Amino acid sequence: MKITGTGLVAPSDGAPEEVLLDGRTLLLRRAASPSSINARDARRLTRPALFALAACKEALGDAATLEAMGLALGSGFGSVEATRLALEGLLERADLISPTSFVASVRHDAGSAVARALSIHGPSAALSARRLSFEQALGWALIQLRRERAPAMLVVGADEVSPLLARSLARARLRSERIVDGEGAGTLLLERDDSPRPALARIERVVEGTGSVDDLIGAVRRELGGRFDAVFTDEEGSARRAECAARVAAAFSCEKVAVGERTGHLAAGGALVAVEAVRSLRERTLVYAREADGAYCAYALERP
Amino acid sequence: MAAEVVVTGIGLVTSLGADRESTWAAIRAGCRGLAPLSLFALPGRPKPIVAEVRAIPRRKGVPKRALQGSARTDRLAIAAAREAVQDAQLDEGMLARAAVILGASSAGMLEGEEYFAKALAGSHDATRRELLGGIEAASSTARVALALGALGPRATFTTACSSSAHAIGHALDLLRDGVVDVAIAGAGDGLCRLAVAGFLALENVSPTGCRPFAKDRDGMTLGEGAAVLVLERADRARRKPYARVLGYGAACEAFHATSTDPSGRGAEAALRAALRDARVDAASIGYVNAHAPGTKDNDAAEATAIARVLPHRPPVSSTKALHGHALGAAGAVEAAITCLAVAEGFLPGQGRTDVEGDLDVVMEGRSARAEHAVSLSLAFGGNDVALVLGAVS
């Protein structure tokens, strides 16, 4: 399959923002409101939806939206802030919940908002798998194309920062306080080979499984071949993750690019990695992501 | 040629029964599992009629760590999954290779609500891991995989009411592509304050219990439950399958955040896509388990779509009248019921009602063989899914 467009809403560069909450300092990388979305729409949309729409518009560029185009969204949490808003009223009195915030709290809200804004009527789904959310959405989208259910698929990963959740995760020691939370979205426009538009890169399938780093390396060799000139990943934030990334790069004797160090941690961060990998494509790039419990996804990007 | 995919195991936990057998017996008898909400209080609101699971069964063979700190939704999903794999007679080796593909909507929000209440109050108690896990959609999938010892690919679909229909469809694709030879697919979804209060705020809930397709329908009945199917390649099945899984189709209405496109265009596109995928003739469809939650706009749009694609007027019923709307688990619960319907040659009824329009709505359950059947799932945001199932010859 061809990748014919990319879109990105990346967190801000420079030093992370410091937010003081309940005596703790949280490090965040927020994304600026995208200029491609008008102010009225920006006010109506949740932040994941806003980021997703901007990234999809950029990926489409001057390509017309095809009626039968499909959409796959990967998001770790949907809009945590919309859920917080919905619950703030509800926890006081059940009749105080606002219908708008309830609807916005639905986990696939960003995907529905993009589909409405761009009139996408093909197969549409949202997937959530912690930091594999985007990769799983990508795998599902490739199947839709392969089975000729859609001529093109927009695959978008989007998440927002939630200081409240970040504070709780750090307090619960579920992750290091040094981790910088990020937000944003990344989109790939995938098309079947019969599309007349030029390809930026080629991709065939996403390999998925559960196991050790060696299992991941073995699955990549078996399913994707063993020759790569770069490995892209969002593995960052701990020595263990960095070591894993180094082992994967060493196994294929190629350069490692850890995108997460620049974007901050977000569940759908794989989307940002994918866009960066396409935009700085070598001959054959391996992209992978792993979860703490050993679940992994990997795919190869090839120069057309 | 793609491998034929069959359903060899079914696990069910609904307001009608704690397992497949009791749920199906209640459906055959036309029982309704609806009652006033008792699971939690909703200050400021009268208690709505819901379909609540009274006691979540604890199945044998589930490791303690899979249940430790689990959410209500996780326990529902684990109970159904365990029943399904026992039913399919899967051994440890097959389970180790299995994919686990689930849907989620409310997921662990009941516990998530406790998290938000404590977190917003600045309480350190908000950092309890079981509360944090509750707000994550993929939590049940990870726990079911842990409970079963399944190490294959995992995925969690989050398109609200069509989530678990997507999960079954994706499992079908993974089996047809040879990625796995066995897949555990479905969902659990538990009631929570956010969903109940949210739908009440949208004025979408029936005060007396839903009446799908009725002229005087006045809203849905929220429910909870779980259904898990074991999907396998037909040539690997160890027991006689319930049904064949033939086709999966999805479409997006791109119409409104909550309302169904009145033209029925989304449901029609999903249905046509599933029939195309299944390579079966529309005229061979002998039963439709409709999404029809009992709301004015959904049922009318869906009836329009069914009439347009299936003009031969196959029997249609919405079993939500009996087990309520299990949100993220609805697609799987109804697909499971459709499998049992084609396996047993019995079309479930939805109770006597004065039907609007021209559909052949099954009111009293009746014996009839359906060679092919459809399970339709429509969702918030217009994410519509259809599954085509077939009888095993």
Q: Give per-residue pLDDT as tens, A196-237.
A: 999 999 999 999 998 899 999 999 999 999 899 999 988 766
Question: Which pair of tokens denotes residue A135?
Answer: 């990769």
Number of Cβ atoms within 10 Å of the Cβ of A68: 16
Residues of A in contact with B279 (CB under 8 A): none
Q: Which residues of B51-90 are buried (b: 16+ CB within 10 A; e: fewer)?
A: bbbeebbebeebeeebbebbbbbbbbbbbbbbbbbebbeb
What angle, rounded to 10 degrees, do the helices at A133-146 and B163-176 form?
Answer: 60
A135 and B CB contact within 8 Å: no
Q: What is d(CA A196, CA A246) in angstroms, rounded to the nearest whole number?
A: 39
Please give the pLDDT value at position A282: 87
Q: What is the arithmetic mean of pLDDT over A40-57?
A: 94
For chain A, the first-to-last Cα distance in angstroms comes to 10
Question: Rounded mean pLDDT of chain A?
Answer: 89
Sign of CA dihedral B275, B280, B282, B288: negative
Sign of CA dihedral A94, A99, A105, A107: positive
pTM of the model: 0.97
Max CA-CA distance within chain A? 60
Phi, psi for A44 (deg, rounded to 5): -75, -30
Question: Rounded mean pLDDT of chain B?
Answer: 95
Question: Which pair of tokens denotes residue A227?
Answer: 């020759």
CA distance A113 to chain B (A): 7
Q: What is the arithmetic mean of pLDDT over A35-50?
A: 91
Split at pLDDT 50, 70, 90, the class of A176 is: low
| Residue closest to A217 by CA, chosen among A254, A258, A247, A259 | A247
Split at pLDDT 50, 70, 90, the class of B218 is: very high
- Determine, for residues A94 and B124 on separate chains, whether the beta-carbon distance falls below 8 Å: no
A129 and B CB contact within 8 Å: yes
A87 and B CB contact within 8 Å: yes
Please give the pLDDT value at position A174: 67
Q: What is the arithmetic mean of pLDDT over B258-269?
A: 93
Split at pLDDT 50, 70, 90, the class of A11 is: confident
pLDDT over threshold 80, residue A195? yes
pLDDT over threshold 90, residue A28? no
Please give the pLDDT value at position B299: 97
Residue type, A52: A
The number of C-beta contacts closer than 8 angstroms across A and B is 205
pLDDT over threshold 70, residue B90? yes
Question: Which pair of tokens denotes residue A287?
Answer: 């992209």
Q: What is d(CA A232, CA B242) in angstroms, rounded to the nearest whole number?
A: 44
Interface test with A, best of B158, B196, B388 (most A CBs within 10 A): B158
Which of B166, B194, B252 lies at the smallest CB-CB distance from A87? B194
Interface test with B, best of A81, A84, A106, A140 (most B CBs within 10 A): A106
Phi, psi for B183 (deg, rounded to 5): -140, 140
Chain B residue closest to A77 (CA)? B136
A177 and B CB contact within 8 Å: no
Q: What is d(CA B339, CA B350) in angstroms, rounded to the nearest whole number?
A: 17
Interface of A with B in 142-171 (CB under 8 A): 143, 147, 149, 164-165, 167-169, 171
Residues ≥6 apart with Cβ < 8 Å to A80: A160, A162, A164, A165, B135
Q: What residues pair up with B17 in beta bridges, in sequence order? A: B14
Q: What is the arithmetic mean of pLDDT over A60-81?
A: 88
Q: What is d(CA A270, CA A138) in angstroms, rounded to the nearest whole number?
A: 10
Q: Which helix (H) or strand (E) holds B188?
A: strand B182-189
pLDDT over threshold 70, residue B251? yes
The per-residue DSSP string of A61-85 comes to TTPPPPTT-EEEEE-SSS-HHHHHH
pLDDT over threshold 70, residue A260? no
Q: What is the pLDDT of residues B38-60, one digit of tens each?
A: 999 998 888 999 999 999 999 98
Please give the pLDDT value at position A175: 65
B224 and B190 in contact (C-beta within 8 Å)? Answer: yes
Which of A116, A128, A147 lies at the smallest CB-CB distance from B254? A116
Which of B141, B250, B273 lies at the smallest CB-CB distance from A125? B250
Residues ≥6 apart with Cβ < 8 Å to A116: B254, B255, B256, B257, B381
Please give the pLDDT value at position A268: 82
Q: What is d(CA A18, CA A29) in angstroms, rounded to the nearest whole number?
A: 9
- Cα angle B358, B361, B367; round to 5: 140
Chain A residue closest to B259 (CA)? A103
Residues in chain B, total: 393
Interface test with A, best of B194, B265, B377 (most A CBs within 10 A): B194
Chain A residue closest to B177 (CA)? A143
Number of Cβ atoms within 10 Å of the Cβ of A201: 22
Q: What is the pLDDT of residues B59-76, one digit of tens each?
A: 988 999 999 999 999 999
Split at pLDDT 50, 70, 90, the class of A95 is: confident
The per-residue DSSP string of A106-157 comes to STTHHHHHHHHHHT--S-EEEE-BTBTHHHHHHHHHHHHHHTTS-SEEEEEE
B255 and B381 in contact (C-beta within 8 Å)? Answer: no
Number of Cβ atoms within 10 Å of the Cβ of A242: 16
B161 is an active site residue: yes
For B138, which DSSP code? T
Please give the pLDDT value at position A236: 65
Give the position of tokens 């989307």. A271
The answer to whether ipTM exceeds 0.85 is: yes
Q: Which helix (H) or strand (E) holds B223?
A: none
Residues ≥6 apart with Cβ < 8 Å to B77: B102, B140, B143, B144, B186, B187, B188, B226, B228, B329
Question: Which pair of tokens denotes residue A157?
Answer: 């990963």
Please give the pLDDT value at position B34: 98
Please give the pLDDT value at position A261: 65
Split at pLDDT 50, 70, 90, the class of B190 is: very high
- Determine, for residues A210 and B129 on separate chains, whether the beta-carbon distance falls below 8 Å: no
B192 is an active site residue: no
pLDDT over threshold 80, residue A266? no
The per-residue DSSP string of B21-74 comes to HHHHHHHHTT----EE--SS--TTSPPPEEB--S-----TT--HHHHTT--HHH
Residues ≥6 apart with Cβ < 8 Å to A221: none
Residues of A in contact with B43 (CB under 8 A): 93-94
Q: What is d(CA B87, CA A113) in angstroms, rounded to the nearest whole number?
A: 41
- Determine, for residues A103 and B258 on separate chains, whether the beta-carbon distance falls below 8 Å: yes
Question: Which percentage of chain A shows pLDDT scores above 90?
Answer: 57
Residues in chain A, total: 304
Chain A residue closest to B195 (CA)? A102
Interstrand relation of B35-36 and B49-50 (parallel, antiparallel or unpaired): antiparallel
Which of B120, B153, B156 lies at the smallest CB-CB distance from A88? B120
B184 and B85 in contact (C-beta within 8 Å)? Answer: yes
Number of Cβ atoms within 10 Å of the Cβ of A117: 18
Q: What is d(CA A113, CA A53) in angstroms, rounded to the nearest whole number?
A: 8
Q: Name which of A165-179, B23-37, B176-190, B348-362 the model is least confident about.
A: A165-179
Question: Which pair of tokens denotes residue A179?
Answer: 């981790």
Question: Which pair of tokens denotes residue B367?
Answer: 């014996």
Question: Which pair of tokens denotes residue A51?
Answer: 């980021």
List C-alpha distances in Å: A263 to A30, A128, A167, A232, A266. Answer: 9, 20, 19, 13, 8
Please give the pLDDT value at position A62: 80
Please give the pLDDT value at position B311: 97
- Determine, for residues A90 and B197 on separate chains, whether the beta-carbon distance falls below 8 Å: yes
B291 is an active site residue: yes
Which of A71, A93, A129 lies at the smallest CB-CB distance from B138? A129
Chain A residue closest to B122 (CA)? A22
Please give the pLDDT value at position A177: 64
